[in-house]
A and B are shown apart, each in its own frame.
Chain A
Amino acid sequence: MKTDTLKPSQVMTILAVASLGIDILIEQNSMVSYAGRDAWISLLLGGITGILFGSIMYFLASAYPGKSFPEIAVDICGRFIGRLFMLPVLIYILLHAGLSINIFAQTIKMFLLDRTPMYAIVAVMAAVAVYAVYKGIFTLSGVIDIIFPLAVITIAALILISLQQAEVENIFPILYKSHMKVLRGSFFGLLHFPGFGHVAYLLCYAQDSKVSIKWYIIGTAIPVVLATALTLVTIMVFNPLGIESLLFPTLTLSKSIEFPVTFLERLESIVAVLWISIAFGSISLFTFVSVQNFLIFFGRKSEKYVTLAHFPLLMIVALFIKNGMKVIEYYLELKYLLAAFVFIFSPMLAVLSVFQKRRQIRN
């Protein structure tokens, strides 16, 4: 019997779904606040920058076959400093997963289950996500393979259907006295694609740890293209001022769609139902990454117990803050930790890795 490995296409689907989860619902709002009508350009530039910075993680993981990111960090920096460096990453990933569940539960409560308590919605999502992680990365990747086309079709369909209400003048004039805003916005745009770093956790499970960079680029480019197109359409439909007042612009966009024939009503509920699987994919992938961090940070070998322990952890993080608006605020502020990771920690680790490799060659 052959041992399981991730196929390159699976690495691609995981990277795409990891970044499509929660941010796809709220990114228009935050991006418009930075770059106004040119928010979509910021998001596109941010995405491209994200792919470039994420490739550092790709090359780092390729240089250490069979090792996940926390193992690489410990390998390069040593046991103590490596773990110290891992601490903010560990906190960021756990908080990201937990707050994502909270935002997810808020949307479900708003569009599907207005009378169901938050803790019940959170508990169901956390339980199924932990169950998926408990079954292992190969099972999880199998689920992501099924979710991926569903995610792409849902978002693409939403974009195409919304085009009928789009008003092109809402995006003009392009880049009019807003170059700096666009550039500043692109920094935040990059942070709306939090799943790119997952590549450093996946290559150790891949068929041969050197998955072609083609798959990495496809996997990261898909959410960039979809998010940019969705933001562009949302701006064209609502105009930048209208978007700033919306909590979940994507779902409001689906709400605004009207079919000429009485076929489906309340499309936003249907989109919310379809979006559940996308959010689940992203949340469970972050939970998986969090489990990997905990395993190395606490030096545990039994993945089973660490995974099960994530259920209460996710519940606590998701339910700790009661105010929904505050959760979104914290979720966006949490991205500064991601920025530190992308711009400081991973390049530094890459440089140290180069030195270590050179030292090894000399010796």
Chain B
Amino acid sequence: MFDLFRKIFGKKKRAKEYVSNLGYLKDKFISKDVEENIAALCAILNNSYDIKHRVFKISGSDIEGAVLYIDNLIREGVVLDHILKPLMFESADIMNNKTGRLILKSIKDSMLSGGSIKEVNSYDEIVLDVMSGDTFLCIQGYDTGFIIDSREYEGRNIGEPSIEPSVKGAQEAFVETLKRNIGLIRRRIRDPNLSLNHYTIGRRSKTDIVIASINGIADSDIQKEVRKRILSIDIDGNVEAEQIGELISDNPNSIFPLYQTTERPDKLAAALLEGRVAVLLDGTPRALIVPVTLPMLLQSTDDYFENWVIGSVLRISRYVSMLISSIFPAMYIAISSFNPGMLPTNLALSIASTRSGVPFPAIIEALLMEIILEILQEASVRLPRVVGQTVSIVGGLVIGQAAVQAGIVSPIMVIVIAVTAISCYALPSYSLGLATRLLRVPFMLAAVVFGSYGVSMGLLALLVYLSSLKSFGIRYLSPLSPYRPGDWKDAVIRISWRAMKKRPELLNPYDSIRENIGSKEVTDED
């Protein structure tokens, strides 16, 4: 039906396609003439001001060489000390030995001391590498050039996690530079099976992206599916990990996060060791982890740094927080408006007396408070930290107190909304917290029309929705539904490490054994 409508009313002409990828350069090869190559590359790169090139004579001979690179993306020392200096001043011996004839292999093997060097001859490869911060070198008389690794991206130092702080956990967070982020993972997993596959995405941005997983643990079906979905992305530019997350998600319309983002390398390493797959993107201080389930989003790093009983209680409190964050105002409206008899008489009378002077029904009160709360939250995110605190004080105390004194809202409603707001922040996943915030309004509307019946039916509809969601083929409510008793030990509760001998079954890991405590014999010599 929709196809028919699209056929009749859809746009007939396709938008003009711009040549934005490097495919058209695939069949263009460098010539033997240095000047020609440099001119061609400058033309391809639109003669931008930051394209630097230098033509020079090799070791005082008549043979010309040229380098081309992009300023600000390279480590200048590499170009000067490891490319230009050896070629201009230290190549005389080789020139003499080779009877004046330059041999590319000799240059590559004996003169260039850069970290990684590769031979190239097509422009598409050269352009992509130069734009990534490598240096291009070509020699007069040869139709093969070199790409020498000289990348150095400016970036901040590794700092503390800002979204996922931990009381006892490592105080390291990912930064915007992919190379450093990879280093943070490698440092934690010194396993040769740690597979880091590099790709570029974005027709124009050519962003570096790395898919990380541990071969021999991660399910190859999931690995392949992640790779397939990443490679099928056809987008002009990419800026953030969440953009990729949405593009590879099973259901992009879902308000619940179907991928996990983390800025903590320890969390990512733990996820890889469980058998999950991570996606890291250059320019983003967060990594994506897939697949994800709802119980996984309620796990926090701190759960594992405390005794398992304490960890379990903390985790259960998060489930309660999620429920409170979604339905507490709705339950208050339902009970106070439809079934006050469900409450103890004293409490019901107390609520009634606090509401006696309020001119609005409970739903208007709740919506009013919710709107004010949302505005405050948005304002505090946008404003500088110092001013943000002032806004919190003015918003939370002054407006709250003034609204109660003015008789616009009842004190009990302020308590309800405050508890709801605080519960939202108890959730370790910011995206999940946002989803629960969004759910509050439909639940409140259901409560005002159908009371506790409306809330119950709303919860059931939500449960149906959650049950229908999948992340890379894994049911979102796993291991709670379908039942996987083996995985319950790290779902709603977190039991002792000694009992967590196996990796989560729901991820279908190849090597399911995580630990063999007691099986390793240690002698005095060890």
In Å, the complex CA distance between A145 and B178 comes to: 42
Is the C-beta of B97 less than 8 angstroms from some C-beta in chain A? Answer: no
A145 touching B483 in the complex, CB below 8 Å, given contacts A124-B457, A128-B460, A276-B460: yes
User: Do A276 and B456 touch across chains, with their CB atoms under 8 A apart?
Assistant: yes
B352 to chain A, nearest CB (A): 15
Q: Which residues of B contact A120 (CB under 8 A)?
A: 450
A145 touching B344 in the complex, CB below 8 Å, given contacts A136-B468, A266-B339, A276-B456: no
Is the C-beta of B482 less than 8 angstroms from some C-beta in chain A? Answer: yes
User: Do B338 and A112 touch across chains, with their CB atoms under 8 A apart?
Assistant: yes
Binds B, one of A34-42, A57-65, A257-265: A257-265
Instruction: Pick the contact of A262: B221, B346, B450, B467 (CB < 8 A).
Output: B346
Instruction: Pick the contact of A143: B221, B450, B456, B464 (CB < 8 A).
Output: B464
User: Do B451 and A113 touch across chains, with their CB atoms under 8 A apart?
Assistant: yes
A192 to chain B, nearest CB (A): 24
In Å, the complex CA distance between A1 and B477 comes to: 17
Q: Which residues of B contact A143 (CB under 8 A)?
A: 460, 463-464, 467, 481
User: Do A262 and B342 touch across chains, with their CB atoms under 8 A apart?
Assistant: no
Chain B residue at minimal CB-CB distance from A280: B460
Q: Which residues of A contact B346 (CB under 8 A)?
A: 262
User: Do B467 and A135 touch across chains, with their CB atoms under 8 A apart?
Assistant: yes
User: Do A265 and B221 touch across chains, with their CB atoms under 8 A apart?
Assistant: no
Is the C-beta of A141 less than 8 angstroms from some C-beta in chain B? Answer: yes
A68 to chain B, nearest CB (A): 20
Bin the interface of chain B by size.
20 to 34
- What 1/0 flags go to A94-132 for Cβ under 8 Å of B? 000000000000001000110010001100110010011
Instruction: Pick the contact of B468: A9, A10, A121, A135 (CB < 8 A).
Output: A135
Is the C-beta of A256 less than 8 angstroms from some C-beta in chain B? Answer: no
Query: Chain A: interface secondary structure?
Result: helix
In Å, the complex CA distance between A132 and B461 comes to: 8
Is the C-beta of B518 less than 8 angstroms from some C-beta in chain A? Answer: no
User: Do A264 and B481 touch across chains, with their CB atoms under 8 A apart?
Assistant: no
Q: Which residues of A contact B460 (CB under 8 A)?
A: 128, 132, 143, 276-277, 280
Chain A residue at minimal CB-CB distance from B466: A142
Count of CB-CB pairs between chains A and B under 8 Å: 105
| Centre residue among B345, B451, B468 by max chain A CB count within 10 A | B468
User: Do A141 and B482 touch across chains, with their CB atoms under 8 A apart?
Assistant: yes
User: Do A9 and B483 touch across chains, with their CB atoms under 8 A apart?
Assistant: yes
In Å, the complex CA distance between A273 and B452 comes to: 7
A265 touching B464 in the complex, CB below 8 Å, given contacts A116-B450, A146-B480: no
User: Do B453 and A112 touch across chains, with their CB atoms under 8 A apart?
Assistant: yes
Q: Which residues of B contact A135 (CB under 8 A)?
A: 464-465, 467-468
A142 touching B482 in the complex, CB below 8 Å, given contacts A124-B457, A125-B457, A276-B460: yes
User: Do B475 and A112 touch across chains, with their CB atoms under 8 A apart?
Assistant: no
B8 to chain A, nearest CB (A): 22
In Å, the complex CA distance between A145 and B478 comes to: 11
User: Do A265 and B467 touch across chains, with their CB atoms under 8 A apart?
Assistant: no
Within 8 A of A (CB), among B457-491: 457, 460-461, 463-465, 467-468, 472-473, 475, 477, 480-483
| Centre residue among A124, A131, A132 by max chain B CB count within 10 A | A124
Is the C-beta of A33 less than 8 angstroms from some C-beta in chain B? Answer: no
In Å, the complex CA distance between A125 and B481 comes to: 22
Chain A residue at minimal CB-CB distance from B483: A9
A264 touching B344 in the complex, CB below 8 Å, given contacts A120-B450, A124-B450, A142-B467: yes
Q: Which residues of A contact B343 (CB under 8 A)?
A: 265
Interface residues, chain A, CB within 8 Å of chain B? Answer: 1-2, 6-7, 9-10, 108, 112-113, 116, 120-121, 124-125, 128, 131-132, 135-136, 138-143, 145-146, 262-266, 269-270, 273, 276-277, 280
Interface residues, chain B, CB within 8 Å of chain A? Answer: 221, 225, 338-339, 341-346, 450-454, 456-457, 460-461, 463-465, 467-468, 472-473, 475, 477, 480-483
9 residue pairs from A and B, CB less than 8 Å apart: A113-B338, A139-B467, A140-B464, A142-B468, A143-B460, A143-B481, A146-B480, A265-B342, A265-B344
